[in-house]
Amino acid sequence: MSAKGEVLVEVRDMCKNFGVTVALNHVSMLIKRGEVRGLIGENGSGKSTVTTIIAGIQQASSGDMIYRGKPWKPQTSLEAAREGIGIIVQEMGTIPSITVAENIFLGDYSRFLNGPLINRRKMNAEAAAALEKIGVTDIDPSDITAKYNMEQRKLIEIAKVMAHDPEMFIVDETTTALSEKGREILYHLMHQAAADNKAVVFISHDLEEIMEHSDTLTVLRDGNIIDNIDKKDFEPNMIKQKMIGREITGNYYRVDTDGYGDEVVLKADCITTMQDLLCFNLELHKGEILGIGGLSECGMHTLGRALYGLEDIVDGKVELYGGKVTVTTPESAFKNGMGYVSKNRDTESLVMNAPIGANISSTGYKKNRGWGIFISDKKERRYEQLQVDSLAIKCTNVFQPVRALSGGNKQKVVFGKWLAADSDILILDCPTRGVDIGVKASMYQLIYDMKKKGKSIILISEELPELCGMSDRLLIMKDGEVTGEFFRSDGFDNNQLIDCMI
């Protein structure tokens, strides 16, 4: 039996670079049995990089690792999994088109081989056991994975990792995709593993969460380890400061109670969609930040899509500017000064392989015309560079592909695209999802600046503090209906809000 506190993984002097960008700069760290190690840092600080290298998803540029006293250099995540290192990644780690059981035992089918065939019954039974082990009973292992929602798929992934009974398991930014219940399951598993004398690495942006569940905390910034902090020394402001490298003053939400205009710029008139919404009404005013909150499945995401013309509207209509325009397609929405930030940033809001510049200028083909229909390169470059500079997007130049950026910087590109378009009405669906505090703060500032310029914003979010901090008016939804309307001027009461949600 290995002793508590024994070093399980040692990382020595590790470097990783993507082109000229340094992701890890001579990082060394020890991961010990019996503790939950929190990793925290801004987007791009290198926390995912170091853990994915340990778990074999990518390889380091230089440096060594020791695992269980032996040199460790996994070439694939499968190899790492077999050796007892499991990782639950930030992005979706399941394949939608195969069954749940197949996902759980992906790459490990040989153990179910019965002659040349796979013994599906055995595989399904073991998958069910694996799910049950983490306390999930409402998922049928023989179902196609696509049938389940994002949260359930995340749970399947967790089951997959736990099925290998790992010596060390890494939770990379997983909690954002989970509801309260899912999070409880995961926290329980983490603490259980630590109690069983295994090692846990926990990555999260949520300072509160990470402080609560970690035993020690390692802070990374720009690929360097800044500090290791013991639980007894945890102090939010100190940690934030170490993460960002400067002091964060006060709160980053808006503090004013300024009102908004009377003019209705967007009106949903009894709209009914194929799913979720039945005769839904909504009004958005000029200069208003309208928050929409609720549980993930309450229909607020569908609402955002419907307002932008992305959902088929079966009945009713979405009108702009007092009925002058009806939104039927995203094309008509865009043409009339609307913008939309999807909650699925990587799959819907960006072309990952396209350069940063091309993503930003995608809203400005008309504006950047020089002569006739021809686009002026100069204007376009200025259009792009302006956003890169004002949003401080970390990149070498605008020709760098977006996929090479960190989550926060990607989100900045998305914002930049709509800022550049100077949209009058913006629908933001979970705009700060997976974004660290620093970037979050600047996003809030941007949203507020837009409001002050007279733009109207619909802010859809699953995070109550954000909604309370930013909204002029807040609608809480449940089952496709508004269950409560609250005003900033009255002050928001958390308990009241939660009551309306559930």
Partner 1 sequence: MEQISQQAIVKDIPRLGLMDRIDIMKNKRGFPLVFPLSMLALLAVIFHILTGGEFLTLNVLKGVFNQSLIVGTMAIAVSFIYTTGNIDFSVGNVMGLAAVFGVMAYQVTENMAIMILVTFLSGMALMMCNCALGVIFHIKSARVAVVAMSVYSAFTVFLVGAEPLKVDYKICKVLEGNFRYIAFILYFAGCILMYHKTAIGRKLRFIGGNAVCAKQTGINENESIVTAFIFAGIGVGLAGVLQILRTGSIAQGVGTGMGMDVMLATVLGGMSIFGGAKSNAYAGFIGAVTVTVLNRGLLMLGVSSTLIQGARAIIFLLLVFMNSERQSTLPSRQQF
Q: Which of residues 387-406 bind partner 1 (CB under 8 A)?
A: 399-401, 403-404, 406
According to CB under 8 A, which one of 4, 69, 73, 91 is a site residue for partner 1?
A: 91
Residue closer to partner 1 (CB basis): 103 or 124 = 103
According to CB under 8 A, which one of 23, 391, 425, 426 is a site residue for partner 1?
A: 23
CA separation for the pair 221, 207 (Å, rounded): 15
Q: How far is the CB of 136 from partner 1 (least distance, A)?
A: 24
According to CB under 8 A, which one of 34, 38, 41, 44 is a site residue for partner 1?
A: 44
Regarding 362 and contact with partner 1 (CB under 8 A), the answer is: yes
Q: How far is the CB of 490 from partner 1 (least distance, A)?
A: 34
Residue closer to partner 1 (CB basis): 386 or 404 = 404
3-state secondary structure of 78: helix
Residue closer to partner 1 (CB basis): 253 or 334 = 334
How many whole angstroms from its chain centre is CA 368? 32
Regarding 89 and contact with partner 1 (CB under 8 A), the answer is: yes
DSSP annotation of 348: I
CA separation for the pair 145, 101 (Å, rounded): 9
User: Which residues make Cβ contacts (< 8 Å) with residue 292, sequence separation at least 6?
Assistant: 300, 303, 304, 458, 459, 460, 461, 467, 474, 475, 476, 477
According to CB under 8 A, which one of 1, 19, 247, 491 is a site residue for partner 1?
A: 19
Q: How far is the CB of 416 from partner 1 (least distance, A)?
A: 13
Q: Residues 416 to 475: which contact partner 1 by CB under 8 A? A: 417
Regarding 378 and contact with partner 1 (CB under 8 A), the answer is: no
Query: DSSP letters along 288-320, please?
Result: -EEEEEE-TTSSHHHHHHHHTT-S-EEEEEEEE
Q: How far is the CB of 199 from partner 1 (least distance, A)?
A: 14
CA separation for the pair 428, 438 (Å, rounded): 19
Nearest Cα to 35, choosing from 225, 216, 220, 231?
216
Regarding 150 and contact with partner 1 (CB under 8 A), the answer is: no
x/- contact string, 200-239, with partner 1 (CB under 8 A)? ----------------x-------xxxxxxx---------
According to CB under 8 A, which one of 152, 174, 302, 349 is a site residue for partner 1?
A: 349
Residue closer to partner 1 (CB basis): 175 or 409 = 409
CA separation for the pair 391, 84 (Å, rounded): 42
Q: The tokens 């400067």 sit on which residue? A: 246
Regarding 278 and contact with partner 1 (CB under 8 A), the answer is: no
Question: For partner 1, which stretch binds (CB under 8 A), given 121-129, 144-152, 291-299, 365-373?
Answer: 365-373
CA separation for the pair 405, 410 (Å, rounded): 6
Q: Residues 47 to 76: which contact partner 1 by CB under 8 A? A: 48-49, 52, 57-58, 61-62
Regarding 268 and contact with partner 1 (CB under 8 A), the answer is: no
Residue closer to partner 1 (CB basis): 258 or 377 = 377
Token digits of residue 201 = 């690495």
CA separation for the pair 406, 392 (Å, rounded): 13
Q: How far is the CB of 65 from partner 1 (least distance, A)?
A: 14
Q: The tokens 């992934």 sit on which residue? A: 157
* Long-range CB contacts (within 8 A, 24+) of 307-313: 307/266, 307/268, 307/282, 307/333, 307/427, 307/458, 308/333, 308/338, 308/340, 308/427, 309/333, 310/340, 311/273, 311/274, 312/273, 312/274, 313/271, 313/272, 313/273
Complete edge-to-edge strand list for the sheet that includes strand 313-320: 280-285, 264-273, 313-320, 325-327
Residue closer to partner 1 (CB basis): 34 or 469 = 34
Residue closer to partner 1 (CB basis): 61 or 296 = 61
Residue closer to partner 1 (CB basis): 421 or 468 = 421
Regarding 197 and contact with partner 1 (CB under 8 A), the answer is: no
Question: For partner 1, which stretch binds (CB under 8 A), given 137-145, 356-364, 473-481, 485-493?
Answer: 356-364
Q: Residues 281 to 340: which contact partner 1 by CB under 8 A? A: 308, 310, 329-331, 333-335, 340
Q: The tokens 């109207």 sit on which residue? A: 456
Judge contact between 466 and 489, C-beta under 8 A. no
Query: DSSP letters along 197-243, please?
Result: T-EEEEE-S-HHHHHHH-SEEEEEETTEEEEEEEGGG--HHHHHHHH
Q: How far is the CB of 419 from partner 1 (least distance, A)?
A: 14
Token digits of residue 41 = 């840092």
Report the first-to-last Cα separation within the chain, whole angstroms.
Answer: 46
Judge contact between 473 and 258, C-beta under 8 A. no
Question: For partner 1, which stretch binds (CB under 8 A), given 19-27, 126-134, 147-155, 470-478?
Answer: 19-27
Question: For partner 1, which stretch binds (CB under 8 A), given 88-96, 158-166, 266-274, 276-284?
Answer: 88-96
Judge contact between 430 and 414, C-beta under 8 A. no
Q: What number of other Cβ atoms are within 10 A of residue 30's Cβ?
A: 14
According to CB under 8 A, which one of 350, 430, 467, 468 is a site residue for partner 1?
A: 350
How many residues form the binding site for partner 1 (CB under 8 A)?
74
Q: How far is the CB of 240 from partner 1 (least distance, A)?
A: 19
